[in-house]
Amino acid sequence: RKRPVDKEQRPINRSLRDVRYEIRGVLAHRAQELQRQGYEITELNIGNPGLFGYRTPETMRLAMIENLGQSEPYCHQKGIFPAREAVVMQQQNRGVLDVTADDVFIGNGVSELIELCLRALLNNGDEVLVPSPDYPLWSASVTLNQARPVYYDCRPENGFQPDPEQVEALLTPRTRAIVLINPNNPTGAVYDRDRLAAIARIAERRGLVVFSDEIYDQMLYGEAPFTPMATLVRDTLCVTLSGLSKIYRACGYRIGWAVFSGKRTDAHDYLQAVELLASLRLCANVPGQWAVQTALGGVQSIQQLTAPGGRLYESRQAIIDGAGQSEFLEVRAPAGAMYAFLRVDTQRLPGFDDQAFALELLEKQHVLIAPGSSFNVPYRDHFRVTTLPTPDEFARVFERIEKVLSAMAAR
């Protein structure tokens, strides 16, 4: 006779139970089902430039191919020296002078390094300050490591900027770290230097580790200057994360880096723990590492895409225009990154629910977006789109969004 299944006894790691990563969750699975049935789905849910005809700079591909012959062995757990040294030079050019190749770890994307850096730090019951909205991998990784994300608000009415006073008010004796995502995914906000400096002082006073996810650091539309957090943090440990996926349109290369700067005198054990975890996974993908030096040196082709007339710039503009013409939508012009976080007017659509809307838009119009609630916000009236399709495609997308919203309003 079959025994009843005891949910507590299921053979999975219990710490996974509360881990959520909805961007690749139920909606994305439903979209795949529809694709299998032959429908064409417009995927605005994942920041994957290669899916929309963006190419990795050819020089990077050539650098990788040229070095394939020496890419067969494992490399050092921190990554190959030329890649780490190129990251150091980029940091130095930005005014972060006290780092060497020893302070840089290359990982299989920023994703791996987020998990690894949090795992090395956190114990059961620790707290980490995370922005709301966040890129949900941060919350997921904190939870996975038995700690608790405590959200500081980056509210639409404050231009999605963090409020240092609120950050300070949320600190408890269990707070270990603060996460910044700048330029921000999903909102596109680029944080003011003064706010960042105030947060740096709070972290220094309390000895928190500052994690600054700057994977969109050069994806800027000229509205707000970008300040690397590492230029502001001196008296506590700062971990800056970035990589090849977005600026260099090379998501599939799976290459990211973490730079440890600021005060490292008390961080010896932590850095050893990070290195231990890095050596447990042996090394990052070696061929992709050979593209780093080429990527970071020379002309930065992303700037052609983000300047007026460039494709990313024009698509972002198409979203701003589309929202402006909509009866139901509004958006704050994203100053950076490749997303727009749109708000639906709940006066016109009382009871609007972002998840229900996302499902209806997928089923009826075959457009896949990410509901705002996937980004750990307490409100239900936002959704995120990537700015990756062409401006023309956006015109069609907005028509389809408008149809669904109008139908909802008519009910």
Binds ligand PLP by CB under 6 A, chosen from 45, 77, 145, 185: 185
Binds ligand PLP by CB under 6 A, chosen from 49, 149, 156, 243: 243
Cα separation, 179 vs 203, in Å, equals 11
Cis peptide bond prior to 133, omega within 30° of 0: yes
Compute how many residues bind ligand PLP; rule: CB under 6 A. 13
Which is closer to ligand PLP, CB of 109 or CB of 204? 109
Binds ligand PLP by CB under 6 A, chosen from 245, 365, 376, 386: 245
| DSSP class of 114 | H
Smallest gap from residue 109 Cβ to ligand PLP (A): 3
Measure Cα distances from 334 to 27, 55, 213, 344, 387 in Å: 25, 23, 17, 16, 10
Q: Does 374 bind ligand PLP (CB under 6 A)?
A: no
Q: Does 213 bind ligand PLP (CB under 6 A)?
A: yes
Q: Does 60 bind ligand PLP (CB under 6 A)?
A: no
Which is closer to ligand PLP, CB of 239 or CB of 408? 239
Of the candidates 257, 401, 394, which has an alpha carbon nearest to the alpha carbon of residue 338? Answer: 394
Q: Does 109 bind ligand PLP (CB under 6 A)?
A: yes
Greatest Cα pair distance in the chain: 69
The single residue listed with the structure tokens 């495609």 is: 393
Q: Does 87 bind ligand PLP (CB under 6 A)?
A: no
Smallest gap from residue 259 Cβ to ligand PLP (A): 14
Binds ligand PLP by CB under 6 A, chosen from 131, 162, 188, 256: 256
Which is closer to ligand PLP, CB of 316 or CB of 328? 316
Which is closer to ligand PLP, CB of 181 or CB of 377? 181
Contact 168, 175 (CB under 8 A): no
Q: Does 215 bind ligand PLP (CB under 6 A)?
A: yes
**Residue with smallest beta-carbon separation from ligand PLP:** 109
Which is closer to ligand PLP, CB of 245 or CB of 326? 245
Which is closer to ligand PLP, CB of 159 or CB of 252? 252
Region class of 336: left (phi > 0), else alpha (psi between -120 and 50), else beta: beta
39 CB neighbour count, 10 Å cutoff: 12
Alpha helices in 108-215 (DSSP H): 109-121, 137-144, 164-169, 193-206
Contacts of 306 (CB under 8 A, 6+ apart): 218, 219, 220, 221, 222, 312, 313
Checking 16-21 for CB contacts under 8 A at 24+ apart, the result is 16/144, 18/143, 19/140, 19/143, 19/144, 20/136, 20/139, 20/140, 20/143, 20/374, 21/136, 21/137, 21/140
b/e for 319-351, b at 16 or more Cβ within 10 A?
bbebbeebebbebbebbbbbbbbbbbbeeebee
Cα separation, 110 vs 73, in Å, equals 22
Smallest gap from residue 173 Cβ to ligand PLP (A): 28
Bridge-based pairing of strands 256-262 and 237-243 is antiparallel
Binds ligand PLP by CB under 6 A, chosen from 31, 44, 110, 397: 110
Q: Which region, judged by CB under 6 A, interacts with ligand PLP, from 55-63, 107-115, 169-177, 345-353?
A: 107-115
Q: Which region, judged by CB under 6 A, interacts with ligand PLP, from 109-117, 260-268, 291-299, 369-377?
A: 109-117
Q: Does 251 bind ligand PLP (CB under 6 A)?
A: yes
Smallest gap from residue 248 Cβ to ligand PLP (A): 10
Residue 396 half-sphere exposure, CB side, CA atoms within 13 Å? 10
Which is closer to ligand PLP, CB of 190 or CB of 349? 190
Q: Does 349 bind ligand PLP (CB under 6 A)?
A: no
Q: Does 219 bind ligand PLP (CB under 6 A)?
A: no
Q: Does 135 bind ligand PLP (CB under 6 A)?
A: yes
Which amino acid is it at 229?
A: M
Smallest gap from residue 123 Cβ to ligand PLP (A): 24
CA dihedral 179, 182, 186, 192 (to 10 degrees): 110
Binds ligand PLP by CB under 6 A, chosen from 47, 133, 188, 228: 47
Smallest gap from residue 183 Cβ to ligand PLP (A): 9
CB burial of residue 360 (10 Å; 0-12, 13-18, 19+)? middle
Which is closer to ligand PLP, CB of 47 or CB of 322? 47
Q: Does 54 bind ligand PLP (CB under 6 A)?
A: no
Q: Which residues bind ligand PLP (CB under 6 A)?
A: 47, 109-111, 135, 181, 185, 213, 215, 243, 245, 251, 256
